[in-house]
Amino acid sequence: MAKGKSHLSPKYQPWVDARKRFHLSHAHVQMARELGMNPKKLGGKANHKQEPWKVPLPELIEEMYFKRFGKTRPDDVRSVEQIVKDKKRKQAERKARKQEDLETLTARAGVHHAD
C-alpha cells in the first residue's frame, strides 16, 4: 500500500483524499457528505484561484449547508476515520449479539428435545 494511505474501504477513501487535497476540516467533509457531494468532483468547484469569481470550496460547502439545513455546521462533527471505526464496532457488536442469540436458541432447543 502507498505511503500515507489508510486501510479504508473504497467508499470512504476518496473523502480522506479530498480532505487532504483541498485542505478541508472534518466538519467540511461531513457537511459535503450530508449534502451528497461527490468527492471526486470537488476539483471543479475548488478552482477559485483560476476563476476568481468562485468562492473557495470550504465557504461554498458552508453556504450550501446553511441553505439546505439552516445551521452553520453539523451538531456532532466526526471524522471519516471515526465514522468507519464506529461502524466496525457496531458490526462487531451485532455479530456478537447474533452469535449469543444463536447459542441461546440452540441451548433451548437442546433442552426441549431432551424432555
Query: Do 72 and 16 lie in a common domain?
Result: yes
Show the 3-state SS of 21-81: HCCCCHHHHHHHHHHCCCHHHHHHHCCCCCCCCCCCHHHHHHHHHHHHHCCCCCCCCCCHH
User: CA–CA separation, 101 vs 26, rounded Å?
Assistant: 38
Q: What is the DSSP letter of 2?
A: -
Give a yes or no: residue 93 inside a domain: yes
What's 115's DSSP letter?
-
Whether residues 38 and 69 fall in one domain? yes
In a domain, 63, yes or no: yes
pLDDT of residue 107: 84
Together in a domain, 49 and 101: no
Instruction: Please give the pLDDT value at position 6.
Output: 59
Average pLDDT over residues 30-59: 93
Residues 71 and 82 reside in one and the same domain: no
Q: Say yes or no: 62 and 94 in one domain.
A: no
Kindly report the pTM of this predicted structure: 0.77
In the chain, % of residues over pLDDT 90:
69
- Number of domains making up the chain: 2
Looking at the structure, tell me whether residues 48 and 85 fall in a common domain.
no
State the Cα–Cα distance between residues 44 and 53, nearest whole angstrom: 13
Range of the domain at 50: 10-77
Q: Is the pLDDT of residue 65 over 70?
A: yes
Give the per-residue pLDDT at 5: 55
